[in-house]
């Protein structure tokens, strides 16, 4: 097994490059014992080109992530290599260095967003009730919101009714209520119902 942090002047590496062309793909590889400047050159150039051009095609789209992972892992194992006193190999193209760094950042953000999507957030329930006779809606968010709405309608059906497609504006006021966030929305010009609802909310938390 090769050492993770090699300090030798040369190291065996295998780098791959893939360019997708929709209905076909172009690929090449380079392998052998290379000095640190050569490792740098081939890694950045081949990886950068793959990051930018390796996705265009069904097969290329599937293969490209594995090529990138191979290149990155092999390059990491060469980080501790000693550099020769005289460098004969040309350096990597700044453009491919940029595409490699940018591509890595985008890939990490993409993987991170997928990982976060599988993390179950704290349930943020939402529901709304309407005050009968008014264009006034009370939107509630937070754990237990739906039960609160159901209870309000059941206890006082002459005053409240459930609203399943309430407007989100204009907002008259917002208030924390029993661990929930209550937002009063009133679409009438007078805001009479909204003002009454806000006054009732303020009094309930005193």
Q: Examine the domain organization and report whether 171 and 139 are in the same domain.
A: yes
Tens digit of pLDDT for each residue in 87-139? 666 778 889 899 999 999 998 898 888 887 776 555 578 999 999 989 999 99
Last residue within a domain, chosen from 117, 137, 159: 117
| Tally of domains within the chain | 2
As given in the structure block, the two tokens for residue 86 are 């005289």
Q: Does residue 3 belong to any structural domain of this protein?
A: no
Last residue within a domain, chosen from 117, 145, 160: 117
Q: Does residue 79 belong to any structural domain of this protein?
A: yes
Cα 18 from Cα 71, distance rounded (Å): 12
Which residue carries 């006082």 as its tokens? 156
Residue 18 is part of which domain span? 10-117
Last residue within a domain, chosen from 90, 117, 144: 117
Closest CA to 183 of 134, 145, 150: 145
**pLDDT category of residue 69 using cuts at 50, 70 and 90:** very high
As given in the structure block, the two tokens for residue 101 are 């760094």
Q: Does residue 5 belong to any structural domain of this protein?
A: no
Q: Examine the domain organization and report whether 56 and 146 are in the same domain.
A: no
């Amino acid at each position: 097994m090769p050492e993770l942090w090699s300090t030798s002047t040369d190291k065996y590496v295998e780098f791959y490059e893939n360019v997708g062309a929709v209905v076909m793909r172009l690929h090449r590889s380079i392998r052998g014992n290379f000095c640190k400047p050569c490792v740098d050159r081939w890694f950045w150039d081949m990886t950068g080109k793959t990051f930018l051009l390796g996705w265009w095609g069904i097969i290329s789209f599937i293969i490209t992530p594995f090529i990138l992972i191979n290149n990155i892992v092999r390059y990491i194992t060469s980080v501790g290599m000693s550099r020769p006193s005289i460098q004969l190999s040309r350096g990597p193209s700044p453009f491919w260095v940029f595409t490699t760094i940018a591509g890595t950042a985008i890939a990490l953000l993409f993987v991170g967003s997928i990982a976060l999507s599988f993390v179950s957030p704290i349930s943020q329930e939402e529901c709304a009730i309407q005050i009968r006779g008014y264009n006034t809606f009370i939107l509630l968010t937070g754990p237990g919101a739906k039960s609160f709405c159901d209870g309000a309608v059941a206890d006082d059906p002459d005053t409240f009714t459930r609203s399943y497609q309430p407007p989100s504006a204009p907002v008259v006021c917002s208030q924390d209520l029993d661990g929930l966030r209550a937002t009063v929305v009133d679409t009438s010009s007078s805001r009479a119902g909204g003002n009454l609802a806000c006054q009732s909310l303020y009094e309930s938390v005193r």
